A and B are shown apart, each in its own frame.
Chain A
Amino acid sequence: MEERIVVAGFGGQGVMAIGQLLTYAGMIENRHVSWLPSYGPEMRGGTANCNVIVSDEAIGAPVIEEASAVIVMNKPSLDKFEDNVIKGGKLLINSSLIDKKAVRNDIDIYYIPANEIASELGNDRVANMVILGAYLEATKLVKEESVLEAFTKVFGENKAHLLPLNKEAIEKGMEAAKEQEKAMV
């Protein structure tokens, strides 16, 4: 089994962090993992993305052309990556900032109001964790506990006090994905 995930959004939305948490969690669960960021002459407010692979076998190409899942946090990312999802794959859309609908009808699409849910939790900055939670619910790629274990590894021990808030954000995202799945049936 190989999961190939593209996470994309504005710089500052935490898309690299989503990718690193998934990668670290995969490593904790003894899977093969790789994380590859887009890099270039980037600027604040520009788009950023990362390619994450979690696999049962050694990883070949770290670059993803055909993604089993794509998470988009802003509209330019939806325009850029919608076509990269394989047939039957999953597309998670931050519907707080993306007002348009996806065009594809051969994939599972989740509209998650990540920023709104994060604001309700009192911190807009955990929007990335909300959509990460929705992704975990949609794919069951790694356990929630593995992501929480990865949290202090990625962000450092001095961010451990933020763990309860981030856990709540992940779980709200999971609930939102469950609601969406009910609507899909």
Chain B
Amino acid sequence: MAKVLMKGNEAIGAAAIEAGCKYFFGYPITPQSELPEYMAREMPKINGVFLQAESEIAAINMVYGAAGAGARVMTSSSSPGISLKQEGISYIAGAELPCLIVNIMRGGPGLGSIQPSQTDYFQATRGGGNGDYRLVVLAPANVQELVDLIIEGFDIADQYRNPVMILGDGMIGQMMEPVEFKKPKKRELPEKDWATTGTKGKRKPNIINSLYLAAEELEEHNKRLQEKYKAIKENEVKVESYNIEDADIVVAAYGTTSRIAKTAISQLEKEGYKVGLIRPISLWPFPYEEFNKISDKCKGVLTIEMNTGQMVDDVKIAVNGRFPVYFYGRTGGMVPTPNEIAEKVKESMEVKSNGCSI
């Protein structure tokens, strides 16, 4: 299939339909509204369902219902809307249902702004709802990768019976880049024999629920969930790294921030600096082990985010005291520039290495 030029938000819709998603429940919010708009136009053409719910809470519970019936289903929103969906997300994780949730992040807290940000890293990777659950969280850095991760994300969700979140920001939602739609690597997907599709009098009813009143049963359920999360950690880490074996300093960044960092790194290379990059693509499971490959001569790791420092916690866990960890972030919808990042890299290299970090 030839490449087409698509806006990130529309490409999400096209990729979901390509992946066999037939149901979309959502509620509009900038900067992702082109996605429900696209779905409203395209879903009827494939006999799918687009439904604008009365609220985000209603939308996520419609996802819960459709996922329980075994459908490929998706919802999307932006930061404050994702906050409203947290109860439903926790229920879906508890009931072990597959679905895709898209968060095109904007500045916060509260209603914040409509400009790009990465302030929901904690919420996405730690679980914004109650209970010991995890989402698989994938952070694309360009529109092609966004498409690829949406298509693969549905398979990951089905394989593990777990919600998958695509964590982008306003910039990737709004920008246009060429995309092509490729089949993901083949996965063995289990039958959805748990789905509530009607017994036809031939089997016991399937029950979709996250309520376990017996403490022993709930503990067993939690143990099962943890086993599943362990398997996801072993199999689903995605990371891109560049020049970390030879770098004097390594930048850690994800999503659109990582591509801005790449521009800064190529500028710095022209000036003779050796700068590496670790770009987590899966934010959960986080690519902790990748940081072990950083050369001992490295002087530090600089984390760059569009927030006040969230992934930096995971970077510190990964680095485990081997190097100082520095942080630079912009907030409120401000986007760091390549020049700013280049300056921060130089500053971080000048810090006298006494183990003290920011």
Contact = CB atoms under 8 A, between A and B. Distances in A.
Contact of B114 (A41, A59, A60, A62): A41
Counting chain B CB atoms within 10 Å of each CB, the highest count among A24, A40, A62 belongs to: A62
Interface string A20-39: 10011001000001111101
Contacts of A23: 5, 176
A65 interface: yes
Contacts of B115: 40
Size category of the A interface is 10 to 19
B123 interface: no
Interface in B162-191: 170-171, 174-178
Interface residues of B, number: 26
Contacts of B249: none
A39 B260 contact: no
Contacts of A20: 5, 176
B178 A63 contact: no
Given A24-B5, A41-B114, A63 B335 contact: yes
A60 B251 CA distance: 14
Nearest to B340: A65
Contacts of A65: 337-339
B5 A27 contact: yes
A27 B3 contact: yes
A139 to B, nearest CB: 20
B177 A35 contact: yes
B339 A34 contact: no
B266 interface: yes
Interface string B238-269: 00000000000000000010011111101000
Interface of A: 20, 23-24, 27, 33-37, 39-41, 59-63, 65, 153
Given A36-B176, A61-B337, 17 more contacts: A24-B5, A27-B3, A33-B177, A34-B175, A35-B5, A35-B177, A36-B175, A39-B174, A41-B114, A60-B260, A60-B261, A60-B338, A61-B262, A61-B338, A62-B256, A65-B337, A153-B5
Q: Closest 7 CB pairs between A and B? A: A60-B263, A35-B176, A61-B260, A60-B262, A61-B263, A36-B175, A27-B178
